[in-house]
Amino acid sequence: VYKAFHQHHIEASSENLRHLLEKKIPPRIMKILVEAGKLAYDMGFSVFIVGGFVRDLLLGVENLDIDLVVEGDGIFYAQRFAEKLGVSLTVHREFGTAILNLGEQFKFHIDIATSRREYYPYPAALPQVEPAPLKEDLFRRDFTVNAMAISLNPPNFGNLIDFFGGKEDIKKRKVKVLYPKSFIDDPTRIFRAVRFEQRYKFSLDENTEKFIRKALEEKVFQRLSGTRIKEELIQILEEDRPERNIRRMHNLGILKMIHPKLSLTSRKEKTLDQLVDAIAAYEVLTGEKTRRWLVRLSVLLEDLDEQEMKNFCKRYSFTREEKRILITCSSKAKEIAEKLKSPKMKPSSIYYLLEPFPSEALILAMAKIKSKRVMKRIHFYLSHLKKITLEINGNDLKKMGYKPSPKFSYILEETKKAKLNGLLKTKEDEIEFVRKNFGKGDT
């Protein structure tokens, strides 16, 4: 039953990469790959490393994410392999895939899938899958450079399998799709093409660029759920320096398709550039990670009014909180800077001015500010004031003889102001301050 596919010799490339594998892969992992091939051979299956790993091996980029594809029953093979290695297995039966969890000492895992063809019941749908030979499995991938494989079966261990000229495209540094309707079938590949091109400093193949423009003309994004587009956008905007990606998306007309007013002007480019330092400063001063994508998106959306912003957030399934932040960033960043300009300001005034704002709005304000005084005040807030908390609370007030009342919050607020202004250091100071200013409590 399991010998669903006869073992066959693939004449797609005569090049053998065994020496390269041995040079780039730690011996303990190499041993596992050799075992993987032997087991498949004994079972009458064929097993291959596919995808990103093969590409990165040829590019000289380190990558230990190993995906195996089996011509045969991938899950049955994965179960036998897990037994042989004495490791656990996570099975996703509906996708015909399994993950070998190799444990702590290996620091990596292996994904195993049945070789399969995909067909899209309609454009932009999620694909249906069924078992198929390797060539068809590789043909359903996004770009030629991601559609190569390496055979692991003993007679031809290390043979490169390259049906679609992926190795040649790596040499030419080209991003090239496998068939003209690729972007119609899966419009998210448009984002991947841009990310890929910029990350590896490749360039879009001439026809591939034409296919992207044609797919956009056919309004393929309208067939995608807002959530999928949002996820792709986040991935791009989270990168270390996403400006080149964004400019490319602008030039290809991708931004305009997401929203007619979503654009990249030289002014916005400048802000995005200044955001790099502002984000770094925020993360260093507060020790918190920030949602870089959100503050960057707010820059791209600057030209939308509040209603358009609400519609945008609805179309792309933003959370209520994300919507609030985007609206605050676009309307309040300037205001923050203006209010912080006044010559004399107590620390408590700085604190109460900035405290209501989300971190993204403060980061955007930092990116746009020219005034040294304002910048210093925001830094002081982030590194110091934001972290100040009172040591006393309502219970302490009760112990001091105060009866619980709405006045409690006023007393605590006034005490906090004094602490922000540097007048109180210890818990004793706080208690003393309350006694002095609000009497001895109710008697």
Total residue length of the chain: 443
Q: Is the dihedral of CA 141, 147, 152, 155 positive or negative?
A: positive
- Give the containing element (helix H, strand E) for 337: helix 320-339
Token couple for 152? 């692991």
Place of tokens 């309208």: 222
**Residue 220 Ramachandran class (φ > 0 left, ψ -120 to 50 alpha, else beta):** alpha
d(CA 341, CA 257): 39
Token couple for 260? 């007619």
d(CA 292, CA 298): 10
> 164 in helix, strand or coil?
coil
d(CA 238, CA 294): 9
CB 102 within 8 A of CB 108: yes
Q: How would DSSP label each residue in 214-240? A: HHHHTTGGGGS-HHHHHHHHHHHHTSS
pLDDT beneath 50, residues of the chain: 1-11, 443
Residue in 150, 177, 139, 166 with CA at minimum distance from that of residue 10:
150
Residues 6 or more apart whose CB falls under 8 angstroms from that of 403 comprise: 442
CB 115 within 8 A of CB 129: no
**Residue 68 Ramachandran class (φ > 0 left, ψ -120 to 50 alpha, else beta):** beta
CA 227 to each of CA 49, 221, 222, 292: distance values in angstroms, whole numbers, following the listed order:
31, 11, 12, 18
d(CA 404, CA 389): 21
Q: Is the dihedral of CA 162, 91, 121, 216 positive or negative?
A: negative
Token couple for 375? 């910048």
CA 362 to each of CA 230, 295, 354, 370: distance values in angstroms, whole numbers, following the listed order:
23, 10, 8, 14
d(CA 157, CA 36): 10
Question: For the chain, what is the radius of gyration of the CA atoms?
Answer: 29
CB 55 within 8 A of CB 101: no
Residue in 189, 150, 173, 146 with CA at minimum distance from that of residue 52:
146
Token couple for 150? 């390496």
CA 352 to each of CA 122, 340, 355: distance values in angstroms, whole numbers, following the listed order:
54, 11, 5
Place of tokens 């230990």: 64
Token couple for 211? 């296919």
Residue 107 per-residue DSSP state? -
CB 326 within 8 A of CB 298: yes
Place of tokens 């260093």: 284
What pLDDT score does 187 carry?
A: 95
Q: Cα 121 to chain center, whole Å?
A: 29
Strands 128-131 and 109-114: unpaired
CB 221 within 8 A of CB 189: no
- Supply φ then ψ for residue 131, to 5 degrees: -60, 145
Q: Residue 98 pairs with which residues in a beta bridge? A: 91, 112
CB 40 within 8 A of CB 114: no
pLDDT in tens, 104-146: 666 678 999 999 887 777 777 777 778 889 999 999 999 999 9
What pLDDT score does 439 carry?
A: 76
What letter represents residue 302's amino acid?
Answer: E
